[in-house]
Amino acid sequence: MEGFKAKPNIGIKGGHNLENFEQFILDNFGNQVKDINQAVTKTSHPDISGIYEVKYKLPVYDGLSKENGGKGKFTGQWKEYKNPKTVYDPKVFSDEQILKLGREAMEEGIQNGRVRIDSRPNAISDEIIGYAEVDGKKLQFIGYKNKVTGEISNFFPVIPK
């Protein structure tokens, strides 16, 4: 599992472990975020316990001083990120279980032809949509397959719309 990165225009990129995601916010924005519920809203998967879609907002800093780890002074504003993130609760699914389910879903997606070819000239990967079974229910994953190596570079569970 890769770590997290906060990108101003994109939001938090990286791992999908709920505890790690929340800890990243508290570690990096704890001077403003005192309670995780102040920044994160969770919606449960309709069929599978332990999978959540999170919408989140982060404090905005002016970037003009060394305060707050070099981020500057808090402006009093909060930025809401449009793209929700899907996370799993490690109390329900271990990292190993999510890796296993994700690999199964990627294999299932490839076998069933659910690969969306990215035809942009500089695209480095294609998108795979696959499903893995969890207690008789299907958990959807989205992943990315490197165009050159064929290696699956990333995958994560999603809550279908």
Mean pLDDT to the nearest integer, 134-149: 96
Q: Grade residue 1 by pLDDT with cuts at 50, 70 and 90.
A: very low
Min mean pLDDT across 8-17, 59-68, 139-148 is at 8-17
Mean pLDDT to the nearest integer, 137-157: 95
Q: Is the pLDDT assigned to residue 96 strictly greater than 90?
A: yes
Q: Grade residue 160 by pLDDT with cuts at 50, 70 and 90.
A: confident
23 vs 63: CA distance, rounded Å: 23
Cβ atoms of 144 and 153 closer than 8 Å: yes
Q: Say what the pLDDT of residue 65 is.
A: 81
Tokens of 134: 């969890």
Q: Where are the alpha helices (DSSP H) in the chain?
A: 18-29, 67-70, 95-111
Cβ atoms of 53 and 86 closer than 8 Å: yes
Cβ atoms of 145 and 125 closer than 8 Å: yes
Min mean pLDDT across 72-76, 94-98, 137-141 is at 72-76
First-residue to last-residue Cα distance in the chain = 25
Q: Is the pLDDT assigned to residue 24 strictly greater than 60?
A: yes
